[in-house]
A and B are shown apart, each in its own frame.
Chain A
Amino acid sequence: SQTIHQWPATLVQPVGSPLSLECTVEGTSNPNLYWYRQAAGRGLQLLFYSVGIGQISSEVPQNLSASRPQDRQFILSSKKLLLSDSGFYLCACSKSETQYFGPGTRLLVL
């Protein structure tokens, strides 16, 4: 079965600084990959998803971007963080309808 790694686990960044969150997947090949954001006490908002290397679909316009440089690597980036970018960022993967989530990265922008 697949294992999803995310790092860092926690990140505190100043407004205007860049961001790079990484997600890697073990135990499967050519998965669909997803980035979600979860605000405190809220539901999951799909940010990006990818069906293959270099193929990224954006679900909502925002200050973030995503890249998939390798089959099992998914990166979430920003050039300049906003206060509203704070939240819990989750990476997920799937080979079918079922999505499996990573442990998440908690981002606090001050």
Chain B
Amino acid sequence: QQQVKQSPQSLIVQKGGISIINCAYENTAFDYFPWYQQFPGKGPALLIAIRPDVSEKKEGRFTISFNKSAKQFSLHIMDSQPGDSATYFCAASKGDYKLSFGAGTTVTVRA
């Protein structure tokens, strides 16, 4: 049973547009929510992470929005660039240092 549900499975966005990826979870014990970026043939790399006491965190063009009451969090990629084309994974942890991953979203940015 997947503990973190991620959508959409894939998306296509024009250069300069906004990419939005959504994740939902059920386990209220989760207290750490990272996002990973993975390029083909490479290992995932940590992009940005958030804890439930913060509703939004921004790093450059990447923003996490967190809605604790809805048990949802999302990644926004502003001003999307062709170099952002990758697969993005959300994840959640409840302090046991094990991550539950979403299924991934493949983002394609068209020039």
CB distance from A36 to the nearest CB of B (A): 9
Q: Are B104 and A101 in contact (CB under 8 A)?
A: no
| Count of residues in A whose CB is under 8 Å from the partner chain | 22
A32 to B106, CA, bound (A): 29
Residues of B within 8 A of A44 (CB): 44, 89, 101
Q: Are B45 and A98 in contact (CB under 8 A)?
A: no
B63-111, CB < 8 A from A: 89, 93, 95, 97-99, 101-104, 106
B46 is contacted by which of A4, A32, A43, A98 (Cβ under 8 Å)? A98
Say yes or no: A43-B34 contact (C-beta < 8 A), given A101-B45, A103-B43, A104-B42: no
Q: Find the B residue at minimum CB distance from A44.
A: B101
Residues of B within 8 A of A49 (CB): 97-98
